[in-house]
Amino acid sequence: MTKLVTPDEAVATLESGMTLGIGGWGSRRKPMSLIRALLRSNVTDLTVVTYGGPDVGLLCAAGKIRKLVYGFVTLDSIALEPHFRAARQGGTIPHVVEYDEGMLQWGLYAGSLRLPFLPTRAGLGSGVIDVNPDLKLVTSPYDDREELLAVPAIRMDACFVHMNRSDARGNSQYLGPDIYFDDLFLSATDIGHRFVSCEKVVATESLLDEGSFHTLRINRSMVDGVVESPNGAHFTSCEPDYDRDESFQTEYATAARDPETWHSFVNTYLAGSEADYQEAVRAR
């Protein structure tokens, strides 16, 4: 059974108020075509869970985030995401849950294993505990009786990740240096709205043409919809298909500094369809 859908069809299944997990890391292999489709939709009031990059920036700028659960928000080669920075300093994200990077992994892993929490030392004694008073400690039941941080499980209603290759049923492949935590994001999401966009949909028998079996970390039971989206991670990196578009990222970050230049950036790149976006990028 094929699971192929367009970015807009995927987003049309979402509802306002949902918890959305977004794969990738900073400005690396982000499901940007799905984020752009989300920007075109009326879906809002989202809880977003991610290792953030321009996905978070764009959703902040569009006022779609009610709650943000994050390990960081960065553009990598530009240390601070400008829209995120403005939103934090302006106090416009109603609820922020900032975790240590490893704590976020642990929350996702607990969620994917259907456990209520996983214990760790990461976060103990730090400001993360001071600013997240809901976090609880747990005492080891063994002789050491050590007090540890219980990172609560994170479960999501919907999830977007971007891969290099997929087949039409959702078996998916990353060909770059790091899967990041994309498998955990998918596994910690309820069945129904788990979307993988990819550079290219290939026949199942071709999945091993470009990478070893070690690259097949996402199987079809983890995926509800497949979106073929060439250049879909643009302007973030999607190695080895393409590197980050640094000059475009600089244009994005520069435009984001001022409402007027941002308005013009939106008109040039984000006012139309995904095809219009890709055309505008090619025409630069």
Partner 1 sequence: MPAEPRLADVIAIACAEAFRGNGEIFGSGMGIMPMLGARLARATFEPDLMVSDGVAFYVDGDLPIGSSDKTVESWIPFRQVFDSLWGGRRHVMMGASQIDRFGNTNIANIGPHNQPKVQLLGVRGGPGNTINHDVSFWIPKHSTRVFVESVDMASGVGYDRAARLSKWVQANHRLPRVVTNLAVLDFETEGNTMQVRSLHPGVTIDEVNEATGFELAVAETLAESRAPTDEEMAAIERLDPGELRYREIPN
Residues in CB range of 166: below 8 A, 6 or more apart: 172, 173, 196, 198, 201, 202, 223, 226, 228
Residue 67 lies near partner 1 (rule: CB under 8 A): no
Collapsing DSSP to helix, strand or coil, 195 comes out as strand
Collapsing DSSP to helix, strand or coil, 14 comes out as coil
Residue 128 lies near partner 1 (rule: CB under 8 A): yes
Residue 98 lies near partner 1 (rule: CB under 8 A): yes
Q: Give the helix/strand (H/E) hosting 67.
A: strand 65-73
Residue 120 lies near partner 1 (rule: CB under 8 A): yes
Residue 246 lies near partner 1 (rule: CB under 8 A): no
How far is Cα 28 from Cα 180, in angstroms, rounded to an integer? 9
Give me the least distance between CB of 119 and partner 1, in Å please: 11
Residues in CB range of 94: below 8 A, 6 or more apart: 66, 67
- Among 30-38, 90-98, 160-168, 218-226, the segment contacting partner 1 (CB under 8 A): 90-98
Residue 85 lies near partner 1 (rule: CB under 8 A): yes
How far is Cα 264 from Cα 124, in angstroms, rounded to an integer? 45
- Among 39-47, 82-90, 257-265, 275-283, the segment contacting partner 1 (CB under 8 A): 82-90
List phi, psi (to 5°) of 42: -90, 0
Give me the least distance between CB of 125 and partner 1, in Å please: 4
Binding pattern to partner 1, positions 141-170, x when CB under 8 A? ---x-xx-----------------------
- Euclidean distance between the first and final Cα of the chain, in Å? 39
Q: Are 233 and 162 in contact (CB under 8 A)?
A: yes
| Number of residues in contact with partner 1 under rule CB under 8 A | 41
| 130/205 with CB nearer partner 1 | 130
Touching partner 1, residues 179-198 (CB under 8 A): 179-181
User: Which residues contact partner 1 (rule: CB under 8 A)?
Assistant: 25, 70-74, 79-80, 84-85, 88-91, 96, 98-103, 105, 120-128, 130-131, 144, 146-147, 177-181
